[in-house]
Amino acid sequence: MIHPIKWEKGTLFLLDQRRLPHKLQWFRASGYKGVIYAIKNLVVRGAPAIGLAAAFGMVLAFRSLRKRDPKTLLLKLKKIAEEFLRARPTAVNLRWAVLEMTKVGETSIGDGLTPEDCLKALESRALSLLEEDIRVNKAIGDFGAELIRDGSTILTHCNAGALATGGYGTALGVIRSAHLQGKRIRVLVDETRPWLQGHRLTAWELTQEGIEHYVIVDSAAGYFMAKGEVDMVVTGADRIAKNGDTANKIGTYSLAVLARENHVPFYIAAPTSTIDLTIPSGREIQVEVRSEEEVLLLEKKRIGPKGTKALNPVFDITPARLITGIITELGIATAPFERGIAELFSAHHRKNLGTGPKI
Ligand code: MRU
């Protein structure tokens, strides 16, 4: 299985996604600034993966702090947490992971642990987040695979696979689980302009798994749906509002509209850490806008005339009404999503006698 994030003897290694699929190259981050660079420049990408990278980044940051008095240590850690939060604004997993790490810092400093023991506590939480993420993805995969019939064609967008997470993947985890159950499936992979996460990364993962797949240009999705050749669409998510509105890679909204028009079920697969219960709807989600060069250049060569400008919002918001279901590690939420999501959380909460996520 692909593991894009490795922690070895206090150094963070990230499988460099700018180089895939042609080069398997590891980006080495020995300081937290390197991790921020990696997140901003898409060395590591995908909502859960950037959260995990930031968690290890917080360990590196704490290790580099010179001040020893507890108050200053905590203040500095919180400042660094803010730097991480600014690296990419849309994926809520980044905030989730950074807050988890800040809490650990706060508790261990508050408990009077030595800086060395605080560092150990932070390192152990980052490692447990990584392990948890893989477990959670497998659970998402197993719930989602139940929805897939033998012989289905599934369309996916961007890369919500092992590369976008600690391992296994969310939307691609669903496909992986169905494949492991012996179901014969065919995957249509949106190439995902402009950064080509679908063509470069999802196709690479599916090749490793030996799953039949075809890359299509993003604008071909409607053609295949209208011909009755798509049984299901499944994508990942960067942030899901309380009402189920979902931010994901640009083009997801168009896919959902096409799916509705063609009576194709449209699913989102994401861990509950992607659900942001602090915002009532997708209107509150900040959409990241990246450099126009990502659109204007292909392999560093300009495609159009000099002087032409581009707009590059890299996420869009799919309204909950277009979503058939949200597949999480706790089960599948359906409409009305506000209730569906709350029910998943409270069932989990009851089962774990109060240790689950709070709403
Ligand atoms: O810009 P990216 O490549 O980080 O965008 C990634 C996506 O939109 C994914 O679909 C999402 O983060 C879910 S990854 C499990």
Quick: pLDDT tens for 99-109.
999 999 999 99
Element (DSSP H or E) covering residue 42 = none
Q: Decide if pLDDT at 210 tops 50.
A: yes
Q: Decide if pLDDT at 67 tops 80.
A: no
Q: Which of 231, 238, 245, 316 is catalytic?
A: 238
317 within ligand 1 shell (Cβ under 6 A): no
Integer Cα distance of 193 and 201 in angstroms = 13
Domain architecture of the chain: domains with CATH: 5-137 (1.20.120.420), 139-350 (3.40.50.10470)
For the stretch 16-42, pLDDT in tens is: 999 999 999 999 998 999 999 999 999
For the stretch 243-292, pLDDT in tens is: 999 999 999 999 999 999 999 999 999 999 999 999 999 999 999 999 99
Predicted confidence at residue 166, as pLDDT, reads 97
For residue 326, the cross-strand partners are: 268, 333
- Ligand 1 closest atom vs CA 288: 1
Q: What is the pTM of this model?
A: 0.95
Predicted confidence at residue 70, as pLDDT, reads 84
To the query of whether residue 316 is one of the catalytic residues in this protein, the response is no
15 within ligand 1 shell (Cβ under 6 A): no
Predicted confidence at residue 17, as pLDDT, reads 98
Q: Where are the alpha helices (DSSP H) in the chain?
A: 32-40, 47-64, 70-87, 92-110, 115-145, 171-180, 203-209, 221-226, 252-261, 293-296, 337-351
45 within ligand 1 shell (Cβ under 6 A): yes
Q: Across the beta sheet with 5-8, what order do the strands follow?
A: 5-8, 11-15, 26-29
Integer Cα distance of 314 and 91 in angstroms = 11
